[in-house]
Structure 1
Amino acid sequence: MHLSIPPGNMKGTMEGEASPELKLEGDIPARYVMPQQDRPSAAAGVAPIPVVDLGRLSRPDADGGAVEEEAKLRWALETWGFFMITNHGIEASLMDAMMNASKEFFGQPTEEKQKYNNIIDGKRFRLEGYRSELLQSEGQTLDWSCRLSLQVEPEGERSFHLWPKYPKSLRDVLLQYASRTKIIKDCIMRALANLLELDEDYFINRTTTRARALARLGYYPPCPRPDLVLGFKPHYDGGALSILFIEENVGGLQVLRNGKWYNVLAKPCTLLINIAECIEIMSNGIFKSPPHRVLTNAEKERTSVAIFYGVDVETVVEPAPGLLDEKRLARFKKIKAEDYYGTVFEHFRQGKRLIDTLII
Structure 2
Amino acid sequence: METKQTMISKDIPRTPMAEESWRLPNSVQHLAANVQEPPSRYLLREQEPYGGNLAGTKIPEAIPTIDLGLLSASSDTQEANKLRSTLQSWGFFQVSNHGIETSLMDSVMSASRDFFGLPLEEKRKYSNLIDGEHFQIEGYGNDQVKTQDQRLDWSDRLHLRVEPENERNLAHWPIHPKSFRDDLHEYAMKSKRIKGEILRAIAKLLELDEDYFVYQLSDKAPAYARFNYYPPCPRPDLVLGVKPHSDVYALTVLLVDKDVGGLQVLRDGTWYNVTTLPNYTLLINIGFTMEIMANGIFRAPVHRVVTNAEKERISVAMFYGVDPEKEVGPIPHVLTEEQPARYRKMKAKDFLFTHYDDFSRGARIVDSKI
Q: Normalized against structure 2, the TM-score is what?
A: 0.88
Cα contact 1:3–1:123 (8 A) shared by 2: no
CA distance, structure 2, for counterparts of residue 45 and residue 190 of structure 1: 32
Q: Which amino acid in 2 is paired with 1:213?
A: A
Cα contact 2:146–2:360 (8 A) shared by 1: no
1:300 matched to which residue of 2?
Answer: 311
Asked whether 1:31 is paired with 2:53, we answer no
2:8 matched to which residue of 1?
Answer: none
Cα contact 1:40–1:228 (8 A) shared by 2: no
- Out of 55, 59, 71, the position equivalent to 1:57 is 71
- Out of 33, 39, 53, the position equivalent to 1:13 is 33
Asked whether 1:203 is paired with 2:224, we answer no
CA distance, structure 2, for counterparts of residue 90 and residue 183 of structure 1: 10
Cα contact 2:258–2:281 (8 A) shared by 1: no
For residues 144-196 of structure 1, the C-alpha deviation after alignment (integer angstroms, 9 at most, x for no partner) is 11100110001110111221111111001001000001000010000001111
Give 3-state SS (helix, strand or coil) of 2:93's partner: strand
- Out of 39, 44, 61, the position equivalent to 2:57 is 44
Cα contact 1:144–1:221 (8 A) shared by 2: yes
Listed as ranges, the gaps of 5+ residues in structure 2 are 1-19
Asked whether 1:289 is paired with 2:300, we answer yes
For residues 66-92 of structure 1, the C-alpha deviation after alignment (integer angstroms, 9 at most, x for no partner) is 322112211110011111111101011
- Out of 162, 180, 184, the position equivalent to 2:194 is 184
CA distance, structure 2, for counterparts of residue 84 and residue 226 of structure 1: 27
2:367 matched to which residue of 1?
Answer: 356
Asked whether 1:250 is paired with 2:260, we answer yes
- Out of 328, 331, 339, the position equivalent to 2:350 is 339
Name the % identity.
Answer: 52
**Cα RMSD, aligned residues only:** 1.8
CA drift at 1:329: 1.2
Give 3-state SS (helix, strand or coil) of 1:290's partner: coil
For residues 308-347 of structure 1, the C-alpha deviation after alignment (integer angstroms, 9 at most, x for no partner) is 0000123221111111233321111111223212322112
- Out of 332, 345, 353, the position equivalent to 1:321 is 332
For residues 273-303 of structure 1, the C-alpha deviation after alignment (integer angstroms, 9 at most, x for no partner) is 1110010001010011011100000121101
CA distance, structure 1, for counterparts of residue 272 and residue 295 of structure 2: 25
Listed as ranges, the gaps of 5+ residues in structure 1 are 15-23
Q: Which amino acid in 1 is paired with 2:57?
A: A
Cα contact 1:237–1:277 (8 A) shared by 2: yes
1:263–1:194 distance in 2 versus 1, CA, 3 Å: same
CA distance, structure 1, for counterparts of residue 140 and residue 295 of structure 2: 35
CA distance, structure 2, for counterparts of residue 104 and residue 128 of structure 1: 19
CA distance, structure 1, for counterparts of residue 127 and residue 43 of structure 2: 24
1:233 matched to which residue of 2?
Answer: 243
Cα contact 2:245–2:303 (8 A) shared by 1: yes
2:24 matched to which residue of 1?
Answer: 3
CA distance, structure 2, for counterparts of residue 264 and residue 43 of structure 1: 9
Q: Which amino acid in 1 is paired with 2:275?
A: L
CA distance, structure 2, for counterparts of residue 137 and residue 93 of structure 1: 43
Name segments (4+ residues, structure 1) moved above 4 Å: none
1:9–1:76 distance in 2 versus 1, CA, 3 Å: farther
CA distance, structure 2, for counterparts of residue 93 and residue 224 of structure 1: 33
Give 3-state SS (helix, strand or coil) of 1:203's partner: helix
CA distance, structure 1, for counterparts of residue 37 and residue 293 of structure 2: 46
Cα contact 1:266–1:272 (8 A) shared by 2: no
CA distance, structure 2, for counterparts of residue 336 and residue 140 of structure 1: 27
What count of residue pairs does the alignment treat as equivalent?
A: 344
Q: Normalized against structure 1, the TM-score is what?
A: 0.91
